[in-house]
Amino acid sequence: MPRFDIVGQLGSLRRYARSLTRDSTEAEDLVHDALVRAYERRGTFRAGSNLRAWLLAIVHNAFIDGVRSRRSEAARVEQAGYLADSTSPAPQDHSV
């Protein structure tokens, strides 16, 4: 298993995350999520490969996954709003 110099890459990861999110707090969360993914998938890193490029790709993919997830959630909320508007009142209220 190759030795990771993650600490040496944190500056690059944070700068890239900030450029993607345009928000320092979201960037920190993104870097954290990416580092968790990198740790979980450390077995896929090939010795001799560019660690920075590998980590930046994980940051990018985590960002894209987050954007897709937020869009999907927004679509579900919007659809739920349509369903809530189209419901009819319960008949029990009229017979009481």
pLDDT in tens, 5-21: 889 999 999 999 999 99
Q: How many CB atoms lie within 10 A of CB 32?
A: 13
Residues 58-82: tens digit of each pLDDT: 999 999 999 998 888 877 777 776 6
CB 45 within 8 A of CB 51: yes
Band the pLDDT of 1: cuts 50, 70, 90.
very low
Distance between CA atoms of residues 79 and 48, nearest Å: 48
Number of domains into which the chain is organized: 1
pTM over 0.85: no
How far apart are alpha carbons 58 and 47 in whole angstroms?
17
Question: 39 lies in which domain range?
Answer: 7-84
State pLDDT tens for residues 18-40.
999 999 999 999 999 999 999 99
What is the C-alpha to C-alpha distance for residues 31 and 37, in angstroms, rounded to an integer? 10
For residue 61, what is the domain's CATH number? 1.10.1740.10
Q: Is 94 within the bounds of a domain? A: no
